[in-house]
């Protein structure tokens, strides 16, 4: 083994032993307060870039720094400087070096590091969840579930790492062929701001399980928690450069997409940006995974269990302050049960506890930014202008607690009397706004539900088993639910049809998007030449 590889492998084993021995959590962010954070008290002092196995302070910063806010209070959490070409090059170079070693390890060896990372995430669950809340604004209850999903994803793909294999094919004359499932190289992950820690895990876990390394760029709106995962992978024994974090916006993202040493891009974000990613990737003929926007239908038939249908509609619209790509924001209700449904869904929506996202009783925290809050409120205004009725919510909300007064809150909104041509029915609002539509027949609702350029998710509530599967079969969507909504176990694929994206995340199929097959044909006789 070459000297440098031997040294890296030795480092890998030493790191793993050290992390297994050291009970503490070296490298955690240095907070000025105790571990239990309260809104308005966290100060982020450590650098948020990470490559070559450690946090990196940018040296010759050319771009001016941008403020990062705490949505719950409107306070500046930290200043963020975007990585430039030299920084991106350093991070990709670090990832390339790690790939040389990591790609040669057996699946069991990769799994060991990943399972240790999962253990460390579990140990730091509360800390990670609290920091996620401070930077994103979602409730601590949801943030804990997001951290769990991230850990489960890493555990799941650690198992997948041990099962990666090819195929043997017997050919005539004693010859044979076999396939080798091989990694791609340095993969880029680009994340959105609504599930920052979960998205990092959903992209990095399959990537490293398949033997790749990764450079990840979080959204500049929520840059804080990705570096925690980088630290955890490092503490778990990953080689320097296996998982790296570069901060910045579209310029930094474009530099990553264009980098000649990047083999694949996995993107989560809006449809317009997804199209740009695809264009940039095409110049290097690089495969992409695109997890884009949605405007998904939730269909509630008259024979549904009403209590569960209402719960499903709330889960389909108000998780993460409605900032969820797969949300079922077009709620089609069969006309015969519409009045009872509206009465109950409005009662439950009004009862949603809005406030300090770090409090256990809160179920709706702050939207991610002031501009985004204003965009969502403008959609409600437009809906009223176009004739929809606001049954509840859709207004700015100011909590009683004075430290939250400048936060980005609104009351969750239910719109009634919506028609298919309204803006609130055609466009993704990405906020807590449920648009309710009435329908009469199955054929009618299927046609209307499919009348969208998007196809991320879809849901059906009915007790009629045949109808449930018949309707789901005919809905043009990639992530579907029967008698529930927005349940995303990491064992099954997540992703959309049509303009909602390409490829999948989670589930066994995702291995296909982070590996490639080499075919080897072995001649056991002589060459039967035609010349």
Ligand X SMILES: NC(=O)C1=CN([C@@H]2O[C@H](COP(=O)(O)OP(=O)(O)OC[C@H]3O[C@@H](n4cnc5c(N)ncnc54)[C@H](O)[C@@H]3O)[C@@H](O)[C@H]2O)C=CC1
* Cβ 315 to ligand 6NA shortest distance, Å: 8
Nearest to 519 by CA among 183, 210, 180: 180
Nearest residue to ligand X on Cβ basis: 253
* Cβ 326 to ligand 6NA shortest distance, Å: 5
DSSP conformation class of 210 = T
Q: Show the tokens assigned to 251.
A: 């310029």
293 is an interface residue for ligand X by CB under 6 A: yes
Neighbouring C-alpha atoms within 13 Å toward the C-beta of 398: 4
H helix or E strand, kind and range, residue 56 = strand 54-56
Site residues (CB under 6 A) for ligand X, limited to 19-48: none
Is the CB of residue 319 less than 8 Å from the CB of residue 432? no
Q: Show the tokens assigned to 111.
A: 């799994």
432 is an interface residue for ligand X by CB under 6 A: no
139 is an interface residue for ligand 6NA by CB under 6 A: no
* Cβ 478 to ligand X shortest distance, Å: 9
**What region does 7 belong to: left with phi over 0, alpha with psi -120 to 50, or beta?**
alpha
Selection from ligand X, ligand 6NA, none that 488 binds (CB < 5 to 8 A by kind) is ligand 6NA
Nearest residue to ligand 6NA on Cβ basis: 325
Selection from ligand X, ligand 6NA, none that 276 binds (CB < 5 to 8 A by kind) is ligand X
429 is an interface residue for ligand 6NA by CB under 6 A: no
Is the CB of residue 100 less than 8 Å from the CB of residue 5? yes
Is the CB of residue 49 less than 8 Å from the CB of residue 236? no
Computed on alpha carbons and rounded to an integer, the radius of gyration of the chain in Å comes to 24
Residue 291 among the catalytic residues = yes
Length of the chain (residues): 531
* Cβ 197 to ligand X shortest distance, Å: 13
User: Which candidate in 130, 142, 240, 291 is catalytic?
Assistant: 291
Distance between CA 218 and CA 198 in Å, rounded?
Answer: 11
Selection from ligand X, ligand 6NA, none that 486 binds (CB < 5 to 8 A by kind) is ligand 6NA
Is the CB of residue 387 less than 8 Å from the CB of residue 349? no
By C-beta, is 407 or 495 nearer to ligand 6NA?
Answer: 495
* Cβ 505 to ligand 6NA shortest distance, Å: 8
By C-beta, is 39 or 198 nearer to ligand 6NA?
Answer: 198
Q: Which stretch, 27-35, 119-127, 324-332, 333-341, contacts ligand 6NA (CB under 6 A)?
A: 324-332
Q: How far is CA 323 from CA 161, 329, 433, 469, in A?
A: 32, 11, 10, 28
Other C-beta atoms closer than 10 Å to the C-beta of 400 total 7
Q: Which stretch, 238-246, 306-314, 321-329, 427-435, contacts ligand 6NA (CB under 6 A)?
A: 321-329
The site map against ligand 6NA for 476-505 (x = CB under 6 A) is ----------x-x-----------------
Nearest to 295 by CA among 57, 500, 73: 500
The site map against ligand 6NA for 175-204 (x = CB under 6 A) is -------------------xx---x-----
321 is an interface residue for ligand 6NA by CB under 6 A: no
Is the CB of residue 227 less than 8 Å from the CB of residue 51? no
The site map against ligand 6NA for 327-346 (x = CB under 6 A) is --------------------
> What beta strand segments (E) does 399-478 contain?
413-416, 433-439, 454-455, 457-461
By C-beta, is 118 or 324 nearer to ligand 6NA?
Answer: 324
Q: What per-residue string of b and e applies to 103-135 under the rule 16 or more CB within 10 Å gives b? A: bebebebbbbbbbbbbbbbeebbebbbbbbbbb
191 is an interface residue for ligand X by CB under 6 A: yes
502 is an interface residue for ligand X by CB under 6 A: no
Q: Please give the residue ranges that form the binding site for ligand 6NA (CB under 6 A).
A: 194-195, 199, 319, 324-326, 486, 488
Active site residues: 291
């Amino acid at each position: 083994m070459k000297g440098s590889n031997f040294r890296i492998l030795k480092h890998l084993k030493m790191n793993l032993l050290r992390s297994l021995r050291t009970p503490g959590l070296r490298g955690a962010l240095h907070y000025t307060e105790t571990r239990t954070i309260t809104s308005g008290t966290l100060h982020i002092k450590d650098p948020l870039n990470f490559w070559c196995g450690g946090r990196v302070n940018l040296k010759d910063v050319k771009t001016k720094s941008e403020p990062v806010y705490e949505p719950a209070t409107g306070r500046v959490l930290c200043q963020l400087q975007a990585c430039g070409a030299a920084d991106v090059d350093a991070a990709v170079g670090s990832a390339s070096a790690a790939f040389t070693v990591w790609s040669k390890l057996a699946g069991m060896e990769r799994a060991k590091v990943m399972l240790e990372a999962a253990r460390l995430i579990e140990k730091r669950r509360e800390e990670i969840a609290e920091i996620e809340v401070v930077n994103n604004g979602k409730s601590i209850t949801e943030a804990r579930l997001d951290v769990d999903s991230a850990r489960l994803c890493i555990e799941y793909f650690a198992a997948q790492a041990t099962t990666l294999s090819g195929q043997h094919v017997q050919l005539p004359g004693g010859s044979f062929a076999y396939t080798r499932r091989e990694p791609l190289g340095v993969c880029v992950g680009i994340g959105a701001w609504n599930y920052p820690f979960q998205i990092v895990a959903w992209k990095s876990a399959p990537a490293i399980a398949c033997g790749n390394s990764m450079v990840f760029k979080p959204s500049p709106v929520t840059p804080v928690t990705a570096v925690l995962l980088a630290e955890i992978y490092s503490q778990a024994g990953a080689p320097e450069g296996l998982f790296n974090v570069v901060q910045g916006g579209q310029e930094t993202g474009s530099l990553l997409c264009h980098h000649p040493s990047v083999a694949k891009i996995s993107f989560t974000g809006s449809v317009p940006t997804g199209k740009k990613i695809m264009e940039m990737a095409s110049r290097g003929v690089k495969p992409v995974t695109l997890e884009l926007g949605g405007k998904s239908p939730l269909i509630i038939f008259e024979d549904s269990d009403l209590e569960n249908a209402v719960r499903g509609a709330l889960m389909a619209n108000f998780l993460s302050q409605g900032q969820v790509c797969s949300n079922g924001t077009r709620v089609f209700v069969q006309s015969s049960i519409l009045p009872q449904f509206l009465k109950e869904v409005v009662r439950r929506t009004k009862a949603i506890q809005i406030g300090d996202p770090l409090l256990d009783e809160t179920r709706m925290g702050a939207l991610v930014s002031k501009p985004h809050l204003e965009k969502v409120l403008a959609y409600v205004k437009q809906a009223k202008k176009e004739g929809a009725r606001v049954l509840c919510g859709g207004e700015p909300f100011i909590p009683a607690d004075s430290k939250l007064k400048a936060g980005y809150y609104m009351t969750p909104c239910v719109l009634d009397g919506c028609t298919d041509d309204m803006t609130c029915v055609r466009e993704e609002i990405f906020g807590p706004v449920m648009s309710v539509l009435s329908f009469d027949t199955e054929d009618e609702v299927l046609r209307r539900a499919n009348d969208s350029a998007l196809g991320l998710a879809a849901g059906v509530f009915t007790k009629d088993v045949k109808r449930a599967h018949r309707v789901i079969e005919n809905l043009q969507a990639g992530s579907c639910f029967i008698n529930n909504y927005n349940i995303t176990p990491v064992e099954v694929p997540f992703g959309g049809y049509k303009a909602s994206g390409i490829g999948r995340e989670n589930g066994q199929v995702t291995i296909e998007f982070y590996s490639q097959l080499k075919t080897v044909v072995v001649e056991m006789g002589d060459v039967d030449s035609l010349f």
